[in-house]
A and B are shown apart, each in its own frame.
Chain A
Amino acid sequence: MKLIYEQSVPGRRGVQLPACDVPEATPLPAALCRAEAATLPEMSELDVVRHFTRLSRRNFSVDTNFYPLGSCTMKYNSKGLEAAAGLMAPYHPMIPLLPGGEALAQGCLGMLHGLGTALAEITGMDEVTTQPLAGAHGEMTGMLLVAAYHRAKGNKKKYVIVPDSSHGTNPASAAMVGYEIITIPTAPYGDMDMEAFKAALSSETAAVMMTCPNTLGLFNPHVKEICDLAHGVDALVYYDGANLNAIMGKVRPGDVGFDVIHVNLHKTFGTPHGSGGPGSGPVGVKKALVPFLPSPRIVKKDDGSFAIDRDNPRSIGRTANFFGNFGVMAKAYAYILQQGKEGLIRVSEQAVLNANYIMSRLKAYYDLPYDQTCMHECVFSASRQLQHDVHAIDIAKYLIDQGYHPPTVYFPLIVKEAIMIEPTETESKATMDSFIEVMIEAAKLAETNPEVLKEAPVTMPISRLDETKAAREQKVCCIG
């Protein structure tokens, strides 16, 4: 397929404008003009339409194929939610910021407030800010809140504890806020090693950051004890909500003792994501942290109307322009209202059931390092296939040929040759069965004809990319 620049024909235009019949305005000063004309493709409208339509047909998404990318919760996002969010689209983000503008934006402000209230209810927190623009942004906001809490109390805190199964963004966010990281190993059961945790916990511990269920898809049975021990030294406990899709309506992190949580609306609450955005990572907190929440906040007044409250002297400040990724939030709010309480409970039940179905059917063919009932995702190891010199990446590439997005591979880091599968609740048994058959086929090929796996993909416009070269020689340039 040719690049759009390669299709350019000098003089070709999409629109033919009539000759200008008014005198030309004073030309721009030469210093402000570029030395040579910009290189733009010259094409007809039809050429452009065909080019981008062709490109779009090469797009791979959950709308086209099964996408069991572990830890990413690539559920199908109903088009009805797009339509619902579209109702909010005409409202300019500046309207509520104009003098008296709040009165003109009651619907938008009410949506933001309603979403915050719903998330607080789902997570068991006292108040939620919707400002953070993505999960990692939520993590950093949460850790800034932790730091503000300790600063206000005059606490001398230095360390943040994370398990070695955590998302890399957990230690990164804590380090960005200025804490040193203590990493706790994983115990044989797949949860955090409690003895190592107790040994690491001290009066200098600022926070413990946990993902529960963790990146192995396992729920930590000691989670209450961990919260209690942390509170004993006035450390706060952070809940990474990346895996919230497993527990909605079953466990509320706030009830267990977590103090701060971020929620990935783009994962759990049915908004499209991938390739870097857009996301939204609201942060919920317990009462003790409310004064530090980002400002401004949306409040509901006694008369039932909504207002923007800028009077938050102890706030950590603004963490996003306007009120965050509004469109993502509108879809998430529509999703929550569409599902309702019973629906969200069934979402989690079905997500967990689907993951366990895949796990139980594939465990005869792939090693399962932590062999127990999983939550919303399961983590296999390709160590058995490695004996035939077949790596997780080879199986992933073979799946592309068969029309499936590969699962997450090589994460979590604590599992050798990890293959992390998260089917989500929106997939049918028939779809999962087809995927399972292909995974079984791959396991058989590893033994009988590994070359097929090592040469994959062969059905794509381009064959296997040299990932090492791409990472080592990072050259990004514009053609033309």
Chain B
Amino acid sequence: MDLYFSKEHEWVKISGTTATVGISDHAAHELGDITFVELPAVGKTVKQFETVAAIESVKAASDIYSPLSGKVTSINETLENAPEVVNESAEEAGWICTIEIADPTEVKNLMSKAEYDEYLKSL
């Protein structure tokens, strides 16, 4: 399974034609206690780096940008009543949605885990 990160601190795990999307541990920590996740509608079509969801914390409300283009196929309904799962496990149980990948070549615009860690050091 391939794991990539965006500059806006989203992660995407690719398994075949399906991509699972979430925000990085770093982003979850920076946001502070998350109070609400606005999940997308299943079936919504998104372009790479366009807003797919939104997240609210005690500090701020932020858009979540889709790391890849595609169609939303499922959402993590747990987050509707338990947004804190994103704080507890941003890169596993706190996933946001899955997307049917429209264009696999778009991963060239993303970073590997090692590149992302390096990017975080530069911030």
Report A's interface with B, CB cutoff 8 A. 168, 410-411, 413, 416, 467-468, 471-472
**Does B113 make an interface contact (CB < 8 A)?**
no
CB of A472 within 8 A of CB of B35, answer: yes
Which 9 residue pairs of A and B lie closest in terms of their CB atoms, listed nearest first?
Answer: A471-B35, A468-B33, A410-B59, A467-B58, A472-B35, A413-B60, A468-B58, A471-B58, A410-B60
Q: Which residues of B contact A468 (CB under 8 A)?
A: 33, 35, 58
Q: In the complex, are the beta carbons of B36 and A471 less than 8 A apart?
A: yes
Quote the shortest CB–CB distance from A142 to chain B (angstroms): 22
- Nearest A residue to B51 via CB reads A181
Query: Which chain B positions have C-beta within 8 A of A168?
Result: 61
Return chain B residues, CB-CB under 8 Å to A413.
Answer: 60, 62
A411 to B83 CA separation, bound complex (whole angstroms): 22
Do residues B60 and A472 form an inter-chain contact, with CB atoms below 8 A? no
Closest residue of chain A to B58 (Cβ to Cβ) is: A467
4 further interface pairs, Cβ-Cβ under 8 Å (given A413-B60, A467-B33, A468-B35):
A413-B62, A471-B33, A471-B35, A471-B56
Q: Sort chain B's interface into a size bin.
A: 10 to 19
Task: Name the contact of A472 in the complex, choosing from B30, B59, B61, B84 (C-beta under 8 A).
Answer: B84
Digitize B72-89: 1 where CB-to-A-CB distance is under 8 Å, 0 elsewhere: 000000000001100000
CA distance A467 to B61 in the complex (A): 15
- Which of chain B's residues have a CB closer than 8 A to the CB of A472? 35-36, 83-84
Q: How far is the CA of A188 from the CA of B60 in the complex (A)?
A: 22
Residue of B30, B35, B56, B84 most packed against chain A (CB within 10 A): B35
Closest chain A residue, CB of each to CB of B61: A168
- Note all chain A residues with C-beta closer than 8 A to B84: 472
Can you name 5 A-B pairs with beta carbons within 8 Å? A413-B60, A468-B58, A471-B35, A471-B58, A472-B83
What's the minimum C-beta distance from A161 to chain B, rounded to whole angstroms? 15
For the complex, give the distance between the alpha carbons of A20 and B2 in Å: 84
> In the complex, A472→B35 CA distance in Å?
5
User: For residue B83, which residues in chain A have a CB less than 8 angstroms away from its CB?
Assistant: 472
Give complex CA distance A468, B58 in Å.
Answer: 6
In the assembled complex, the CB of A173 is this many whole angstroms from the nearest CB of chain B, namely 15
A322 and B110 CA atoms in complex are apart in Å by 54
Q: Which residue of chain B lies nearest to A472 when distances are taken between CB atoms in the complex? A: B35
A411 to B58, CA, bound (A): 12
- Taking CB atoms, residues of chain A closer than 8 Å to B60 are 410-411, 413
Residues of the A chain whose Cβ atoms lie less than 8 Å from the Cβ of B59: 410
Chain A CB count within 10 A is highest, among B30, B33, B36, B59, for B59
In B53-71, which residues have CB < 8 Å from any A CB?
56, 58-62
Q: How far is the CA of A468 from the CA of B36 in the complex (A)?
A: 10
Could you tell me the distance between the alpha carbons of A411 and B61 in the complex, rounded to whole angstroms?
11
Provide the bound-state CA to CA distance between A168 and B30, in Å. 19
Contact with A along B1-37 (1 / 0, CB 8 A): 0000000000000000000000000000010010110
Residue of B nearest to A417 (CB): B59
**Residues in chain B near residue A411, CB distance under 8 A:** 60
CA distance A467 to B83 in the complex (A): 14
Nearest residue (CB) in A for B83 is: A472
A390 and B60 alpha carbons, distance in the complex (Å):
18
CA A472 – CA B80 in complex, angstroms? 10
Residues from chain A with a CB closer than 8 A to the CB of B36 are: 471-472
Complex Cα distance, B33 from A472, in Å, reads: 10
* CA distance in complex: A296, B30 (Å): 48
Per the bound structure, the CA–CA distance linking A468 and B82 in Å amounts to 12
Interface centre among B30, B58, B61, B84 (most CB of A within 10 A): B58
Complex Cα spacing A411 to B60, Å? 8
Q: How far is the CB of B23 from chain A (nearest CB, A)?
A: 15
**Closest approach, in angstroms, between the C-beta of A229 and any C-beta of chain B?**
23
Closest CB in chain A relative to B74 CB, distance in Å? 24
- Interface membership of chain B positions 92-103, coded 1 if the CB is closer than 8 angstroms to chain A and 0 otherwise: 000000000000
A377 to B59, alpha carbons, bound, how many Å?
20
Q: Which residue of the partner chain B has the closest CB to A467?
A: B58
Q: Report Cα–Cα, A468/B83, bound state, in Å.
A: 11
CA distance A471 to B36 in the complex (A): 8
Residues of chain A with a CB closer than 8 A to B33's CB? 467-468, 471
CA distance A362 to B71 in the complex (A): 50
Closest residue of chain B to A411 (Cβ to Cβ) is: B60
Q: Determine the chain A residues whose CB is within 8 A of the CB of B58 once the complex forms.
A: 467-468, 471
Bound-state Cα–Cα, A167 to B106, Å: 32
Write the chain B residue with the least CB distance to A473: B35
| Residue in A closest to B59 when the chains form the complex, CB atoms | A410
Tell me how far the C-beta of B16 lies from the nearest C-beta in chain A, rounded to whole angstroms: 31
The answer for the CA separation of A413 and B58 in the assembled complex, in Å, is 12
Output the least CB separation between A348 and chain B (Å).
30
Residues on B with C-beta less than 8 A from A471 are 33, 35-36, 56, 58
Bound CA–CA A401/B36 (angstroms): 30
Encoded as 1 (CB less than 8 Å from any A CB) or 0, chain B from 33 to 59 comes to: 101100000000000000000001011
* Measured CA separation A468–B35 after assembly (Å): 7
